[in-house]
Amino acid sequence: TPLADFVLVAGVESPLVAYMRRDTPPGVNVPADLMKTKDFKALTLNGQNSNTLNLTLSLDLLGVSYVPVPAYVGLKEVETAILQNTGQMANTSLSGWIGSAEPALGKLVIPIWQLTARGAKGDYPRSANLPNLQTFEEFYASVKGKPPSADDIRYRALRTMIDPQLAMFRMVLLPPKTPAATVAIMRKAFEEMWTDRAFLSDYARVMKAEPVLIPGAQGQMLLAEIGTVPKPIKDFLVDYSTRMTSK
């Protein structure tokens, strides 16, 4: 059953953080130094995974010379490989960054940018949980002198693929054709939970971040986008992934 056919109860928004070893030649002391590097290894999950595609498409848009390594089974394995200098760049979710990569890798790495969900105005504002980390769009504009082109198939594919996921990084779903009364009860329960101070305190303590709830009705519209991806974007992503994994 297509994911877009399911009924969304609630979602939790999360940005992604791209990070890099500081000792990547000739040295990465500030994020813009990425543009001086050459032929570093970008470590990700398999070639069909959004973890891989969002990082490699971003690097392609920037015109950076790198070696993609879409070969890992989990992000903890990626972190270990970064620690051992098997590779130099990777990315992870907000919870993965705050709860694992940042404390495990410490000053060995530097965050380069965050990929964030599309805002209400169609822009890409910084996550409230990462107010001091520039977005990919900000980084691109700072090193290229202009924003990414909306006509570039790579940027269109990146955003078409990643926007719904970032907006609803964690989802609670009900089966297709669930009765409307049941959906309403479940959505109301989750919305009330997100106002419970004890729950919010426990969430912040465990996740080390404040939750950003996507209500069910809003999330349902985002979920529907997944089922209406234009064929040129689908074809591009299939071809892109195939070419990357055949190298």
Is residue 74 packed enough to be buried (19+ CB in 10 Å), middle (13-18) or exposed (0-12)? exposed
Amino acid (one-letter) located at 218: Q
Is the pLDDT at 97 greater than 70, yes or no?
yes
For 116-173, the pLDDT digits (tens) are 988 878 889 999 889 999 999 999 999 999 999 999 999 999 998 888 888 887 889 9
Q: How many angstroms separate the CA atoms of 138 and 61, rounded?
A: 13
Is the pLDDT at 203 greater than 90, yes or no?
no
For 5-52, the pLDDT digits (tens) are 899 999 888 899 999 999 999 999 999 999 999 999 999 998 788 889
Residue 89: per-residue pLDDT: 98
More confident residue, 128 or 225: 128
C-alpha atoms less than 13 angstroms from C-alpha of 103 in its C-beta half-sphere: 7
pLDDT, averaged across the chain: 91
* Letter string b/e over residues 179-217, b meaning 16 or more CB atoms within 10 A of that residue's CB: eeeebeebbeeeeeeeeeeeeeeebeeebebebbbbbbe
Residue 104: per-residue pLDDT: 92
Mean pLDDT of 95-119: 93
Q: Read off the pTM.
A: 0.89
